[in-house]
Structure 1
Amino acid sequence: MYFRGVETKHNQLERNYDGPQLEIDNGFSIFTQKARALGAPVYHVLSSSDFKKIQWYILNNCEEIEFYLNLHKEEVQRQSLIDVQERHENEFPSWFKQHVTHLNINGSVGSQDQLYALGLGPDIRVAKYSGIIVNGIRFHTIERDKYLRTQNSGIVVKGEHNSEEFDFYGVLVDIIELEYCYGNRVFLFKCDWWNVGDKRNGMKTYGQLVSVNTSRKWYVNDPYVLATQAEQVFYIGDMKNGSSWKIVQKVCPRNVYDVPENVEEGERLILNDEPYQQYEINDVIEVEQIDAENIGSLL
């Protein structure tokens, strides 16, 4: 404890340390993901179809450019009301690139601004990893999990299907790092999703237990999510329904706590959703500060 400049168990980094939080003035949240890739990268060139899907997903999930998304969609609707969403997805990346390039020429956007970097798009050459730590949680691809006794490839993402909220369950297939200009980067997960929309043959519930059929896939053409959107689950064999059925086990990772930022006076603070861990906000314990000179009188 008293060593200085030496790594010990008291000052070493946590095993699932994901790196410092990036703080950039007027920065885009999509470029400030708290993530640390594990292992050596394997470089890969994306196909044209995968590149279009990835680029659209990133742009559509960047809340800072919502104004431009709405602006382009209105232009598409004015041209024609046929296949508005499909045309919007196909045309927006090139339209957005031309728009930010024009802003840069006029001096409205600097060449190193993240808006300009996002508009130019990522490099078609990407790095793939077999492991990553995101927000203090360790993820492995399903291929890496095959050689381990532990399980870190289970994924759940909250989303919507036909205006209905769903928990999308699946497994992690690829961890992809996309490089943008000026050192900006984005981590994506490529996943296989189980068909939880089929309440009979895809998912079953037994009270608080959820069992999913891992032989039935869903959203095959939309496999990508941002790494920061994913949460981790574990799959346990379902002995009742057969080998392809897995019971979903949700857990709270160690050293990760879901604590509200703002709690009104008089409200109860419940940690990890456990009813027996309750604390009153108004219960304040005052601790008297003791000078080092007065410690001897207390011994």
Structure 2
Amino acid sequence: MRAPLMWTISDFPAYAMLYGWSIKGKFACPCCNYGTNSRYLKHSRKMCYTDHRVFLLMDHPWRSNKRSFNGKTEFRPPPAPLKGIDVLNSLCDFENVFGKKKKRSNDDPWKKRSIFFELPYWQYNLLRQNLDVMHIEKNIVDSILGTLLDISGKSKDHAKARYDLKDMGIRKNLHPQDTEDSKRTKFTKACFSMTNGEKSILCGVLKTTKIPDGSASNISREHEQEVNNQSQRSKWSKAKNHCQNFSQWFETRALREDVPDLIKQLTRGPNFVAKRYSGYLINGYRFHVRQRDARRKIQNSGVTLIASTTTFASSKDKNPIAADLTYYGGIVDIVKINYYSHFKVVLFKCDWYEVEKDVYGLTNVYFNKRCSQEEPFVLASQVHHCFYVQDPYDQDKHYVMKTVPRDLFNMGDEVESNLPQSYENEPSEHLKGPSIPKDNGDVLLTKTDLPETTIDVLVEEFVNQQLEVEY
């Protein structure tokens, strides 16, 4: 028996050992390789890897935004990834020397030739090494929380970072300012800084939030056409009639000979005995009923559904709009109905909530405001998973957080004929990205309702500077 090695999955330090590329210094990114954009921060004494906008589409608005980034526009193309054949050719005469005695040039990021290149197919593999996102996600979240809560030793907004901003010549309102006696330096609080009360609210939200546990056919068009033929009625009446009389029309229409047997089985209706579940796995998601979530520390009862429908402003609206509407709800019950062993269908009974969007574009729902109460059921195969985070100032208001299944991947319906090009030019859905202010004015980066941070000016002992909060 033989087994091929498709790729490796590891954290970033192990990436270097498996690939043979140094992850330290100015060429620390194995994907960008010699095109890595790096800069040494002399005050923080570390390398900084910037210019990530090169991976965006050329017409992306962020490429033209100066103030929100490094003060420059960015219209360079992304660096070309090294192909396996090129790597093997460049390392054909490379001699692996292991141990502490080995001396390596600072300009050469290669540490060794990977043993995996002895596999005859490895040089043609597009995805040879992959990163485990678990470690990356944890480190990023730790840094964000440490910065928001201003945790000593964890925050990325410290005195050294402010001096580096001054050297880079960006975000001038965050630069350190000397006091009148020139013996001390003041730092204005950043816009994301919080008071003690705001920190308590944030910690409370993080503590109490529950997160997830990791066929239309022509026959349907016939009824729609029959309803539309009632030309004397308004569009609102036609749509209402379509919903109320469909079942009776469907039973009569299914008696004709041109109807398939499967459709005729639907007219019989399901068995009166159905199975009920408190949880269900489908589409890579784990769903629970809301009652089960109430006694657990996780949340799996949130669902979202995109439905194509016709919307009316009122019963007198003569110009309805056909659009895709997104619904958000919570699962009340899960049932599996049996159509006499011909087929089975799983239904979710849900409470649907009214939806709003705030000034920041965030979607929120109100648990005390229901909608579509006459249509609580939905096919389990149609929904996606989401969870809700309660607003700390309004207990009925909850923000929607969408999730993606970790173990389910969309590989596409067709085989790509030009894989290297598609790999190097991955699409960027910039319309779904976070909001960035337009480059037409000053960006508010400071917070004035918090006291400034003051440090003693010790140029020769800068590394040992201690922060003091002046009240």
Query: TM-score normalised by the shorter chain: which range applies?
Result: 0.5 to 0.7
Deviation at 1:230, TM superposition (A): 0.8
1:195 Cα deviation from its structure 2 partner: 0.7
Match of 1:130 in 2: 278
Note closer, same or farther for the CA distance 1:242–1:89 as it changes in structure 2 (3 Å cut): closer
Q: Distance in 2 between matches of 1:92 and 1:216?
A: 28
Matched residue SS, 1:177 = strand
| Separation (CA, whole Å) in 1 of partners of 2:225 and 2:338 | 30
Contact 1:238/1:247, CA 8 A, preserved across alignment? yes
Change in Cα spacing, 1:81 to 1:121, as seen in structure 2 (3 Å) is: farther
The 10-residue stretch of structure 1 (68-77 or 133-142) with the greater mean CA deviation from structure 2: 68-77
User: Does the C-alpha gap of structure 1 residues 272 and 138 become closer, same or farther in structure 2, counting only changes over 3 Å?
Assistant: farther
Q: Does 1:237 align with 2:358?
A: no
Match of 2:250 among 80, 85, 96: 96
Bigger proportion of residues as strand = 1
The letter for the 2-side match of 1:88 is H
- TM-score computed with the length of structure 1 as normaliser: 0.57
In 1, distance between residues paired with 2:300 and 2:243? 33
Paired AA for residue 154 in structure 1: G
Offset of residue 174 of structure 1: 1.2
What does residue 140 of structure 1 align with? 288
Q: Cα distance 1:95–1:128, how it changes in 2: closer, same or farther (>3 A)?
A: same
Mapping of 1:38-117 within 5 angstroms?
Answer: 62-64=215-217, 67-78=218-229, 81-82=232-233, 83-103=237-257, 113-117=261-265
> In the TM superposition, what whole-angstrom CA distance separates every residue of 1:69-103 from its partner, at most 9, and x where no partner exists?
22233334446643333333333323332333332
After superposition, the CA RMSD in angstroms is 3.1
Say whether the 8 Å CA contact 1:126–1:176 is kept in structure 2.
yes
SS at match of 1:101: coil
Identity %: 29
Alignment of 1:157-236 (within 5 A): 157-159=305-307, 160=309, 161-162=311-312, 163=321, 164-196=323-355, 203-205=356-358, 207=360, 209-236=362-389
Matched residues in 2 for 1:166 and 1:146: separation? 28
Task: Report how far residue 172 of structure 1 moved.
Answer: 0.8
Q: 1:181 offset after TM fit, Å?
A: 2.8
Q: Provide closer, same or farther for how the CA distance between residues 250 and 179 of structure 1 changes in structure 2, counting only shifts above 3 A.
A: same
SS of 2:245's partner is helix
Q: Are the structure 2 counterparts of residues 109 and 249 from structure 1 closer, same or farther at C-alpha, using a change threshold of 3 Å?
A: closer
Within 1, Cα distance between the matches of 2:225 and 2:357?
41
* Residue 406 (structure 2) aligns with: 254
Q: Secondary structure at the match of 1:216?
A: strand
Amino acid at match of 2:407: N
Stretches of structure 2 that go unaligned for 5 or more consecutive residues are 1-214, 313-320, 434-471
Deviations 1:121-177 (A, max 9, x none): 323443322111111211001011111111100111113444343321111111122
Once residues 226 and 330 of structure 2 are traced to their aligned partners in structure 1, the CA distance between those partners, rounded to angstroms, is 38
Between the aligned partners of 1:185 and 1:131, the Cα distance in structure 2 is 17
- Matching residue of 2:121: none
Letter in 2 for 1:157: L
> Which deviates the most, 216-225 or 120-129?
120-129
**Is the CA contact 1:117–1:182 (under 8 Å) kept in the aligned structure 2?**
no
What is the alpha-carbon distance in structure 2 between the residues aligned to residue 155 and residue 247 of structure 1? 13
- The alignment partner of 1:183 has SS state of coil
Structure 1 equivalent of residue 206 of structure 2: none
> Is the 8 Å Cα contact of residues 188 and 226 (structure 1) preserved in structure 2?
yes
Q: Secondary structure at the match of 2:387?
A: strand
* Distance in 2 separating the partners of 1:140 and 1:272: 31
